[in-house]
Chains A and B, each alone.
Chain A
Amino acid sequence: MAILLNKETKILVQGLTGREGQFHTEKMMEYGSQVVAGVTPGKGGSTSLGLPVFNTVREAQKQTDATASTLFVPAAFAADAIMESADAGMELIVCITEGIPVQDMIKAVEYTRSRGIRLIGPNCPGLLTPDEAKMGITPGNIASRGPVGVISRSGTLTYEIVNNLTQMGIGQSTIVGIGGDPILGSSFIDILPLYEADPETKLVVMLGEIGGSDEELASAFIKTMTKPVIGFISGRSAPPGKRMGHAGAIISGGKGTAQAKVDALYQAGVPVADTVSEVALMVQKILKNQ
């Protein structure tokens, strides 16, 4: 089953003809994703990586029946590209781009949400359903298919944990990178219900970090879930007021501390791993007892 994405999903790539777009689309296709076309304004009519390129998402959608779009569009144009995709009726939009002005993002997020369209990102590694398809930049070789849903605000930390799981023989249903920005299309609480409803997913690993209160909000929902969730929060040693790489990873005005998140998760009955390597071990233990 998995969530959000499978091998049937017809995918567009906005920004296909750029450097990042070329590199990662090729990897997406190698992995088995059904990429059907690219969109680059002004390059309509050409082909790239053997795919037709269109000027607009609307045209691409009409010709290919695509339902999902991945964006490798430069930051200055990305919010606009998200809204174009939403306007053309895409059901799922995954925005990889980092560095989008936040006032642009609140508009793009509202525009997609008000139309009931799911936006993942920005500033994220995207989605991967093992042995089926990926939208974004998560390396395919580390993933394997199985019962664990992985959702995260960080890229490489996710890879590290997915790699550990795979090496221990524990597979994943779908890996979702929601992104490291302060304003996101989907937060934990938007995705957790999908795992809860997915018959394949037996357990969810939730990787949070300092900044904001998405983990605290998610904790309230986790209390109502039937499936176990394991948490990890990075940035326990981060000082207040300093932005730790991700635009959203900052403790400000006493809000967004790792401790507050760990406490909220504990209160929801969620075991929180102290170290990265502990995560996979905890998963193993819980799955054995099921």
Chain B
Amino acid sequence: MKIHEYQAKELLEKAGIPVPRGKVAESPSQAADIASELGIRVVIKAQVHAGGRGKAGGIKLANTPREAEDLSADILQMTLKGLPVKKVLVEEAVSIQKEYYLGFVLDREQRTNTLMVSAMGGIDIEEVAANHPDKIAQIPVDPLLGLVDFQARQACFLAGIDSLSLNDTVKIIKKLFKVYQATDATLAEINPLVVTAEGRVMAADAKFNLDDNALYRHPELESWKEESEEDPIEAEAHRRGIQYVRLEGDIGIIGNGAGLVMATLDEVKRAGGNPANFLDIGGGAKAELVRNALEIVLMDPHVKGVLFNVFGGITRCDEVALGILKGMESLNIQCPIVVRLTGTREKEGRDLLKNTSLVSAEKMTDAAKLILELTHGNSAE
């Protein structure tokens, strides 16, 4: 789960990491009030779950409350990377002397959390990693021991953090690790960590990703989940407990098991088509879930045809067939459906689908070609 910058800063502040003074606003007048309360030059920052906000015009400096109001009005009308801006963070503009990067990230290769520190802050860390890999100090944290003080110091020395700000930076690293662990994060980034003209060290921007599988133990963070930021069909699928990812094509895909569904998308793409979605009914799916899956896929108006690809292990092919038939009865389906059932009770499943308008296929490759032929006919109507 992604959270907003202002929420991330709330976590940092609670952990004792200095952040610029500021508040979040949902309207231009609120933004003006916050600016006059702060009484100095402010920065207005769009709060959306997307990177590259600055380049896209979502971050602006305002000298007066009046300017803050006008600029907020502009930003609150923006859509950044497809996401409408509903909130802005209004905070004191700090005078920056230096910019660093601090982060903890789940490191798949090392099978642990890795601390990353760089004196090249304020730019995308992936960019630094690609062009100046030697400018990032990376230190894996022992999973059982946690972060040890010397590691924080070592990372700072390796990264070339200024000796004047070293002590403050080490303290912030230790606090950041605590909050990273306490929130079950998979990413906690302060970029940039700034040294102000007055020599203060503070988090000017922050980004957190939280582990969805651990949200159950953080009810206070779960309320930060914003379904409005999700695609509406994805949100509906998740409410029904279905793994669905919306894509940009027009062939609806339903299958069981993530790997097999991904391979089915690839097969459709290879045949020259474009998948409209990823949908995994999981293991041992009952007819009702299959019907639900079909309904979800058909909610996307771009869908011109649906391909079912099921390998029956613990999933029974006849149960899947029953679900498809239920869907045919209850949903007003106009588009072609190709069904490929193999494995447990495949014969029973295929028999159920005989004498219907459904098209049966035996092999994955054939199924992909069939649905393309049929939908191509459709689009020519």
Contacts and interface: CB of A to CB of B under 8 A. Distances in A.
B372 to A, nearest CB: 14
Contact of A217 (B109, B130, B256, B278): B109
A155 interface: yes
A277 to B, nearest CB: 6
A94 B342 CA distance: 27
A42 interface: no
Contacts of A211: 108
Interface in B15-38: none
B267 A210 contact: no
Interface in A62-89: 75-76
Size band of the interface chain B makes with A: 35 or more
Given A100-B213, A180-B259, A237 B311 contact: no
B266 A107 contact: no
A263 interface: no
Contact of A234 (B211, B262, B311, B363): B262
Contacts, number: 167
Contacts of B171: none
Contact of B243 (A142, A232, A245): A245
Interface string A173-213: 00000001011100000000000000000000001011111
Contact of B106 (A76, A102, A210): A102
B278 A103 contact: no
Interface in A199-235: 207, 209-214, 217, 232, 234-235
Contact of A163 (B144, B211, B342): B342
Interface in B56-86: none
Given A101-B184, A183-B108, A157 B260 contact: yes
Contacts of A142: 313, 343
Given A106-B113, A237-B266, A275-B365, A155 B275 contact: no
B175 interface: no
Nearest to B214: A101
Contact of B213 (A75, A111, A155, A235): A75
A254 interface: yes
Nearest to B267: A275
Contacts of B257: 154-157, 159, 245
B262 A139 contact: no
A120 interface: no
Contact of B211 (A103, A209, A253): A103
A102 B214 contact: yes
- Tell me which of A100, A154, A156 has the highest count of chain B C-beta atoms within 10 A of its own C-beta: A156
B351 interface: no
Contacts of B373: none
A235 B266 contact: yes
A115 to B, nearest CB: 12
A235 B253 CA distance: 14
A234 B265 CA distance: 9
A137 B213 contact: no
Nearest to B180: A103
B144 A107 contact: yes
Nearest to A125: B313
Q: Name the residue in A106, A182, A236, A277 with the highest tally of chain B Cβ atoms < 10 Å from its Cβ.
A: A106
Contacts of B260: 154-157, 160, 234
B363 A277 contact: yes
Contacts of B263: 157, 160, 232, 234, 276
Given A103-B211, A242-B245, A274-B270, A249 B344 contact: no
A109 interface: yes
Given A212-B108, A245-B243, A276-B267, A159 B262 contact: no
Given A153-B259, A244-B258, A212 B106 contact: no
A101 to B, nearest CB: 4
Interface string B178-218: 00010010100000000000000000000000010110110
A158 interface: yes
A106 B365 CA distance: 39
A243 B106 contact: no
B90 interface: no
A239 B247 contact: yes
B108 A154 contact: no
B174 interface: no
B5 interface: no
Contacts of A23: 314
A148 B256 CA distance: 25
B108 A182 contact: yes
Contacts of B363: 277
A137 B313 contact: yes
B151 interface: no
Nearest to A180: B258
5 contacts: A107-B143, A156-B257, A158-B259, A159-B311, A212-B109
Interface of A: 23, 75-76, 99-104, 106-107, 109-111, 113-114, 137-139, 142, 152-160, 163, 180, 182-184, 207, 209-214, 217, 232, 234-239, 242-249, 253-254, 274-277
Given A155-B257, A275-B267, 17 more contacts: A76-B216, A101-B211, A101-B213, A102-B211, A102-B214, A106-B143, A107-B143, A110-B143, A137-B283, A139-B344, A154-B257, A155-B283, A156-B311, A157-B263, A159-B313, A245-B245, A253-B126
